[in-house]
Amino acid sequence: RNATPTQPLVFESYLPAGASASAPRPELRSTGMAFYIGGTYNNTDMDGGYTIRGFKINGMGTADTGFAVGSTTRNVLIEDNEITGFGLGFNVQNNTPLGIQGLIVRGNNIHHNYRMGFLGDAYGLVIEDNLFESNNTVDVGGAALNHAIYVGGHGTNGIIRRNRLINNSVIGSNGACTGGNL
């Protein structure tokens, strides 16, 4: 509860002493939900001031959610991560009057998530400079109603810019995109 936008709680990868600069980033594996950020339904305590960067977050093809962001969360920055192998890379549920405020998803490689790369909404949501690749594809159980990015709900003042969307929702037998990218 002491984290703030100016003094966030930061989860960040680092190179151990003596490691090569080209060493792989730390890999966090999950069989369920990798990160749950925020309060529960009808929670009115604002919670926030978090930064998560520099990890490979791997659901190993069976886990449900990489990042779940819940009610009454504010000022969360998720950047420079690789998010792969989940049903949902992000599940952002803006479902209380206070909602989620100030979520930034920036510079991530979001790929091979078998349902969607990003699902949800927030007030002041920013999704920028990410690579969304091979989410919701036939080789990982794709469906026409799943997308690389699906934004919808109660949020306002959102920005989606400079993202690359490659080979998402390729679920037709001919390799065509028959679901949606955005």
Give pLDDT tens digits along the chain (182 positions). Answer: 678 888 899 999 988 788 888 888 899 999 999 999 886 666 667 778 999 999 999 999 999 999 999 878 899 999 999 999 999 999 998 876 778 999 999 999 999 999 999 999 999 999 999 999 999 876 555 677 788 999 988 888 999 999 999 988 876 666 666 667 88
Give per-residue burial for 45-73: e unless 16+ CB within 10 Å, then b.
ebbbbbbbbbbbbbbeeebbbbbbbbbbb
The Cα-based distances of 85 to 12, 38, 62, 67, 90 in angstroms read: 21, 23, 7, 12, 12
Return the pLDDT at 42: 64
Record the pTM.
Answer: 0.91
